Every structure is written in C-alpha cells, then in structure tokens.
Structure 1
Amino acid sequence: MEQQRYEQLKMGERGAIISIVAYICLSALKLMIGYMSNSEALKADGMNNMTDIIASIAVLIGLKLSQKPADKDHPYGHWKAENVATLVASFIMMAVGIQVLFEAITSFFHLEKEAPDLVAAWTGIFCAVIMYFVYRYNKKLANKINSQSVMAAAKDNLSDAWVSIGAAVGIIGSQFNLPWLDPLAAVIVGLLICKTAWDIFREASHHLTDGFDEKLLEDFKETILHINGVKGIEELKARNYGNNTVVDVVILVNSNLNLEDAHDISTTVEKVLYKEHEVYAVHVHVEPNSVIRTEKNSLRKENSLTE
C-alpha cells in the first residue's frame, strides 16, 4: 500500500509540472498583450496565473517532500508537507489578489481611459481553451491516483478558464463605449483570486488541524457495522496525513469469542476499509460487547448516586 502511494505521488508530479508550464506561458502572453492593448482585465488575469504558478510549485514541492520516508523526527512520515506548502501558497495568492484589486479599483476611476484593443479579448478566449484542456487532463489524473491536491489543482485550472472568459467579456463590453467594463472585470478577477486563496487556506488548515469529513466518517461506520462479527462501534475517528486517510476504531464483538476469532474480525475490518474506501492505515481495537455495556451501566449508576 505504501509503495503504491509513493508511485501515485510521482504520477501526481506530472500534473503539477504541466500546470506550471501552462501558467508560465499563458501568464507571459496575457501580461504582454494586456500591457500592449491597455487592458486591466487581461493584466489582472495574467497576475492571477502568476499566483497559480506559485500554487502549482507548492503542490510540486509538497508532492516531492511527501515521498520522503519516515525518519527519527517524522515517525509518521512527511505526508503533511503538501498541506504546509499549499498553506504558504494561499498567503501569497491572497497578497497578489489584494494588489490586483487595488490597481483595478484605482484604474476604475480613470474615466478618460480608452477601451482596450480587441486582441486582448481573443487572447483571453484562447487562454481559456488551453486551461480547459489542462483541467481535463489533471482531473483525469487526480481520479486515477486519488489525489486531493491534484484535483484541487484541476479545479483551479477550471476556475482560471472561467476567469479568462470573464475578462474577455469585460474587454468586449468595453468596445461599446463602456470602457469602465474592463477595470470592472479586473475587480472581479481580483475577487476571484482572493476567494481561491481563501478556499485553499481553509482546506489546508482543516487538514492540518486534523479536521475530517463527517459524512465520510458515517460511510466508514456503515461499512464496519455490516461486517460479520461486529456488534457495534464504541469509537470511530479519522485524520489525514496529506492525501492519506488513517482510521482509528474501537469495535464491539461477542464477549464469548476467543482472542484469535476477535483478531480475525479486526483484520477483516482493516481489509474491508482498505478495499472499499482506500484508506492508508486502520488501527482497530477490540472490546467485548458485554464488558462495555456493564462499564457504561456502572458509570450511569455512579453518576446517579453522586447527583
């Protein structure tokens, strides 16, 4: 399982590298045409792609660091390096988004500004088409290797395609004696950069603080309860190490079972979660059903006497 996960991380690097190359080329094109055509929207879109370069590099660095094996200082491995790198990238993206907003709002009040050249709109549409195909590639790769970070990069690719379309619409609209539509589109692009940065920050911080999807926990619970021999679940917790899910569960079994039979049930729980939910590791603790109930009843009696 661990070797397979390392191989998937190596494959994930391919998607990050493709995103980096695409963003470098497209941001250079957008900024050049944006300044030549005097389009605030296209320049803002180019700045957006520059932040995407940083985010993609962060994903690439995180994927590489995550492949380092466990050592003395990191007995659980380096899986969370990807989340840390993504968190840093979100701060940089937010700073750039605020800068784009400031420049766009400032230019918005330059009423004497002429409408940008229409070539800026065609550039935006061309770049949107390119980013859509990059999105399709990364989405397919993310589903293949079950990578949250590559899927996040794919969603970012798609949002960039829509941003470019929005910039093109603003530029085209400014041709109809409405030059303020171009800086307005730039303001919208700046807001989208800030929103993307916030979404990335929220998701990365959620993983780093051991937050976990409650619905997925319910799916785990339902799967475990359907396993033959499991009488109940005393406790179920899960956390993420990078893209790897680790599950801790205390199951209840018949108190008359011998140690070997109880161990076989716990092994079955591990195998089923590996197969059906592709979790990275499962820690199963077995408790006899009657003992748990007796202890709970005793605790209730003690609490009632105390009250």
Structure 2
Amino acid sequence: MALGAVQREEMPETQQRALKRATILMWVTVAYLVVDTVILFLIKGNSQAMQAAWVQDLLALIPPLAFLIGTRVLSRRASKDHPYGFHQSMDTAHFVSAMALLAFGGFLLGQSVMSLVTAERPGIGLMVIFGLEIWHGWVMIGFMFLGTFPPLILGRMKIGPAKQLHNKVLFTDSKMNKADWLSSLATILGVTGIGLGIWWADAVAAIIISLDILWDGIQNMKASLDSLVDAIPRKLDSREPHPLPARLNRILLDLPWVKEAGCRVREEGQVFHIEAFVVPGDPDSTPIEQLIDAREKCRELDWKILDVVVVPVDELSPLLNTDTRVPADD
C-alpha cells in the first residue's frame, strides 16, 4: 500500500517574494544587456577582443531569458497529461542555454585562434567627439571599465533569491555575472595591446573571453544535466548532497512504529518529488492513519517537497538514500 500526497501548487510567501525579486532582477539584466550589446556593437571596431566581448554579452541574454520563460511555463498546473507538472521546463531551458554557450564559445575560440595563427593585425583609428579627435581605443577601454560594475552588482543581488528558491538557472547566472569582470579586464588589455603595438594581445584576449564563455557553458551543462538525468539533488554552491532527503529520513525514523526508512528524490526545477519507503516494526499492524500522519509530516518539512508518497515495505532497496546526517548549518 502506498499513500500519495496531493501536489502543492503555491509557494510560501517568502519564496513568492524571492521569485518576484528574481524576476525583476532578470528583467533588469535583460534591459541592461540590450543597451550594452547595442553600444558594444557600435564601438567594437576591428578588435577581436571587443567582438568577443560583444558576443559574450549577447549570449549573456540567454540565461535570464531562459529563467523568465521557464518560470512562466512552470506556473501552469499539473494535469492528467502532465502529472508531474511543468517544473522541469526550467531544467530544459537551462540545458538549451548551456548548449548555446558551448556552441558559440567553441566557434569564437576557433575564430580567435585562427586570427592569432594568421597574425591578423587589427587597427584602431581616431574618432571625432564634440569636434575633438581622440583614439577610438580610449572609448572602448572606458566603456569596458564602466561595464564591469552592473554585472557585479546584479550578480550579488541574485544570490539571495537563488538560494531561497533553490534555482540553478538563477544561481549559475549570478556566478556568471560576478565573474564577468575577467572578460572586461581581458578586453581592456587586448585593446591596450593594440595601442602599444602588441598585435597578438587582441587575439589572446579574445581567446581568454572564448574560454570564459566555454566555462560558463560547462557549468550550466553540469547543473542542468543533474536534474534531467534524475541524479540525486545537490546543494547549489557545492557538489554535496542536498540535506533535505536526510532530514526526511530522520523525521520518519522518529516515528515510533518505523524501524527503517529511506527515500529517493526526483529533482524537477526547484522542487522535489519524493518516494519515501518505511519498514514498519510490526508489518501486520500498520493502520492507514499512521501512513497519513507520516505523509503529512514529510509534506510539512519543506516547501520544496511538491509531492510525496509513503510506501511500507519489508526491506529497503540498497539504492535508496538512508542517510540521516544533516550538516549543522542546514
């Protein structure tokens, strides 16, 4: 006999506020990147580093758009055709954005390496601003320097909501934003190299930016695949297992009629679907009321538990998570 729970569709108020804040931050990110990429396109000139920075900022639009589209889709309620709901739409959007980062990062890397091998020597000329002739490179350097600050600020602001929501797309995007200064620095050095007559500095800077894009793609790919292939849930900021399954096992073992307990957890987007298995102390006398009570205790444990079933069994499968150790900070 297995006892299933009715799925919860509404998040607690704290998480609803976090989602609203995250949505606003993502729209701000999109607006900033649109303006940023337009200006970069207008001033990038022949510099490989500036072109790479422009492509990177263009690609940086993908994660926030994936988040905004994913949150809109997952708000749809579960149905008979989609009994698990649409929460995995976030993982799918995450995977697509990772593929785009890897594809364009690889293309840009190949293009930059070819420029270095063929010894292309980009030139940066003069431009007239308010009647004054100035080196175009100063405009590039100034814009890239000023452009380091918005991503850093936005990245830090996204970390809180990402952890409250356990949202991988938001968390990975915050890390990408915080690390964006490296690309800006590489671009500045590349443009400066052209001005000093170091022709290869521009191509090397473009290669560094390409590698940064590839690294972002790899990080996004790892995070999205974990959910898509039903790997065990992990913390956002490390490869350690998420503490919720251990907390759930402890709750079940605290019940006087439960001898052993284990679970397996399917992570879909930012919520969990859980199958909990219990070995009763007396298999012949396990009334349904006890299973109902166990189910409710599991549901009350955390908002991320969207759906849970409690299954009495004779023995636990070795594939189940039977851990009860919860880190002190969790």
TM (norm. structure 1) is: 0.81
8 Å Cα contact 2:275-2:309 kept in structure 1:
yes
Find the residue that maps to 1:113 and give its secondary structure. coil
- Among 110, 116, 119, the alignment partner of 1:102 is 110
Post-superposition shift, 1:222?
5.5
**Residue of 180, 186, 192 corresponding to 1:166:** 186
Aligned partners of 2:78 and 2:244: how far apart in 1? 29
1:302 — aligned with what? none
1:50 matches 2:58: yes
1:201/1:65 CA distance change after superposition, 3 Å: same
Distance 1:76 1:260, change over 3 A: closer
Which of 150, 156, 160 in structure 2 is aligned with 1:136? 156
Contact 1:83 1:207 in 2 (8 A): yes
Indicate whether 1:281 and 2:304 are aligned: no
Partner secondary structure for residue 76 of structure 1: coil
Count matched residues: 286
Once the two structures are TM-superposed, the CA of residue 174 in structure 1 deviates from its matched residue by 4.4
Q: 1:111 to 1:92 in 2, by over 3 A?
A: closer
User: For the Cα contact (< 8 Å) 2:193–2:201, is it kept in 1?
Assistant: yes
Find out whether 1:186 has 2:206 as its counterpart.
yes
Equivalence for 1:303: none
Question: Would the alpha carbon gap of residues 204 and 265 (structure 1) be closer, same or farther in structure 2, given more than 3 Å must change?
Answer: same
- Cα distance in 1 for residues equivalent to 2:57 and 2:232: 30
Shift of residue 257 of structure 1? 5.4
Q: Find the counterpart in structure 1 of residue 10 from structure 2.
A: 3
Give 3-state SS (helix, strand or coil) of 2:10's partner: helix
Equivalence map 1:61-72=2 (5 Å): 61-72=69-80
- Measure the CA separation in 1 of the matches of 2:78 and 2:233: 26
Mapped to 1, the partners of 2:298 and 2:98 lie a distance apart of: 36
State the shift of 1:169 in Å.
3.1
> How much has 1:16 moved relative to structure 2?
2.3
Range with bigger deviation, 205-214 or 169-178: 169-178
Change (3 A) 1:19 1:280: same
Question: Where does 1:147-296 land on structure 2 (aligned, <5 Å)?
Answer: 147-213=167-233, 215-216=240-241, 220-221=245-246, 223-225=248-250, 227-229=253-255, 230-233=258-261, 235-255=262-282, 258-259=286-287, 262-263=290-291, 266-267=294-295, 269-271=297-299, 273-274=301-302, 278-287=304-313, 291-292=314-315
Q: Does the CA-based 8 Å contact 2:87-2:271 persist in structure 1?
A: yes
Q: Which moved more, 1:239-248 or 1:154-163?
A: 154-163
Which range moves more in the overlay, 41-50 or 147-156? 147-156
Distance change (3 Å), C-alpha of 1:183 and 1:99: same
| 8 Å contact kept, 1:266–1:285 | no
The alpha carbon displacement at 1:55 in A equals 3.0
Q: Deviations over 1:32-89 (max 9, x none)?
A: 2221xx3221220110111111332222111111111112321221111122222222
Q: Deviations over 1:162-221 (max 9, x none)?
A: 322232233334444323112101011112212222322232222112112364366623
Residues 3 and 264 (structure 1 numbering): CA distance in 2 closer, same or farther, change over 3 Å? closer
Select the residue among 28, 39, 50 that pairs with 1:29: 39
Aligned partner letter, 1:19: T
Is 1:74–2:82 an aligned residue pair? yes
Is 1:113 the counterpart of 2:96? The answer is no
Secondary structure at the counterpart of residue 177 of structure 1: coil
What secondary structure sits across from 1:216 in the alignment?
coil
Cα pair distance change 1:73/1:11, threshold 3 Å: farther
Misfit runs of 4+, over 6 Å: none
Distance (Å, rounded) in 1 between the aligned partners of 2:311 and 2:228: 25
TM-score of the two chains, using structure 2 as the length reference: 0.75
3-state SS of the aligned residue for 1:231? strand
SS in 2 for 1:283: strand
Distance in 2, matches of 1:179 and 1:241, equals 49
